Amino acid sequence: MSTDSKFGEYGGQYVPEALMPAIEELTDAYERYVLDNEDGFMDEFRERMADFGGRPLPLQRADQLSQRYDTEVYLKREDLLHGGAHKLNNALGQVLLAKYMGKERIIAETGAGQHGTATAMAAAHLDMPCEIYMGETDIARQRPNVFRMRTNGAEVNPVTTGRGTLKEAISETMRDWARTVENTHYVIGSVVGPHPFPSMVRDFQALISEEAREQIQEKTSDLPDSVLACAGGGSNTMGMFHNFVEDETVDLYAVEAGGSSLSVDEEEGVAPNSASLSTGEEGVLHGARTKLLQDSDGQIMESHSVSAGLDYAGVGPELAHLVDEGRVEPVNVDDDTALEAFHRLSQDEGIIPALETAHAFGYLEEHHDGLGETVIVNVSGRGDKDLETVIEETGNRDLDNAPDMSIFREIGGGML
Give me the catalytic one of 72, 76, 78, 87: 87
> Measured on CA atoms in the order 19, 20, 21, 25, is the torsion positive or negative?
positive
Asked if 309 is part of the footprint of ligand PLP (rule: CB under 6 A), the reply reads yes
Nearer to ligand PLP, 84 or 224 (CB): 84
Asked if 92 is part of the footprint of ligand PLP (rule: CB under 6 A), the reply reads no
Nearer to ligand PLP, 57 or 178 (CB): 57
CA distance linking residue 243 with residue 226, whole number of Å: 13
Q: Which stretch binds ligand PLP (CB under 6 A): 102-110, 227-235, 274-282, 284-292?
A: 227-235
Nearer to ligand PLP, 117 or 178 (CB): 117
Terminal Cα distance for the chain, rounded: 48
Nearer to ligand PLP, 137 or 236 (CB): 236
DSSP 113-126: SHHHHHHHHHHHHT
Footprint (CB under 6 A) of ligand PLP, residues 24-43: none
106 pairs with which residues across the strands? 130, 185
Q: Binding ligand PLP by CB under 6 A: which of 257, 330, 381, 393?
A: 381
CA distance linking residue 395 with residue 416, whole number of Å: 16
Residue 34's nearest CA partner among 2, 7, 6, 11 is 2
Footprint (CB under 6 A) of ligand PLP, residues 157-196: 190
Footprint (CB under 6 A) of ligand PLP, residues 61-90: 85, 87
Burial of 251-265, coded b for 16+ CB within 10 Å and e otherwise, reads: bbbbbbbbbeeeebe
Give me the catalytic one of 167, 278, 380, 393: 380
Q: Which stretch binds ligand PLP (CB under 6 A): 172-180, 218-226, 230-238, 344-352?
A: 230-238
Indicate the helix (H) or strand (E) that contains 47: helix 41-51
CB 309 within 8 A of CB 189: no
Q: Which stretch binds ligand PLP (CB under 6 A): 8-16, 168-176, 226-234, 402-410?
A: 226-234
Those residues with Cβ within 8 angstroms of residue 90's Cβ, 6 or more apart along the chain or in another chain: 118, 187, 189, 190, 201, 204, 205, 235
For the chain, the helix, strand and coil percentages under 3-state DSSP, each to the nearest 5: 45, 20, 35
Asked if 380 is part of the footprint of ligand PLP (rule: CB under 6 A), the reply reads yes
Asked if 230 is part of the footprint of ligand PLP (rule: CB under 6 A), the reply reads yes
Asked if 53 is part of the footprint of ligand PLP (rule: CB under 6 A), the reply reads no
Asked if 243 is part of the footprint of ligand PLP (rule: CB under 6 A), the reply reads no
Residue 312's nearest CA partner among 169, 118, 106 is 169
- 380 tagged catalytic: yes
Q: Which residue type does 332 have?
A: N
Q: Binding ligand PLP by CB under 6 A: which of 231, 277, 313, 371?
A: 231
Give me the catalytic one of 109, 168, 356, 393: 109
Nearer to ligand PLP, 27 or 357 (CB): 357
Footprint (CB under 6 A) of ligand PLP, residues 95-124: 114
Q: Binding ligand PLP by CB under 6 A: which of 354, 358, 371, 375?
A: 354
Q: Where are the alpha helices (DSSP H) in 246-329?
A: 276-279, 317-324
Nearer to ligand PLP, 93 or 232 (CB): 232
- 87 tagged catalytic: yes
Q: Which stretch binds ligand PLP (CB under 6 A): 146-154, 158-166, 219-227, 354-362?
A: 354-362
CB of 234 to ligand PLP, least distance (A): 5
Give every strand in the sheet of 226-230, ordered side by side: 59-61, 72-76, 374-378, 226-230, 251-259, 328-334
Nearer to ligand PLP, 236 or 273 (CB): 236
Asked if 145 is part of the footprint of ligand PLP (rule: CB under 6 A), the reply reads no
Q: Which residue type does 180 have?
A: T
CA distance linking residue 262 with residue 293, whole number of Å: 11
CA distance linking residue 315 with residue 230, whole number of Å: 12
Q: Which stretch binds ligand PLP (CB under 6 A): 32-40, 153-161, 233-241, 343-351?
A: 233-241
Q: Binding ligand PLP by CB under 6 A: which of 234, 259, 287, 317?
A: 234
Binding site for ligand PLP (CB under 6 A): 85, 87, 114, 190, 230-237, 309-310, 354, 356-357, 380-381
Residues tagged active-site:
87, 109, 380
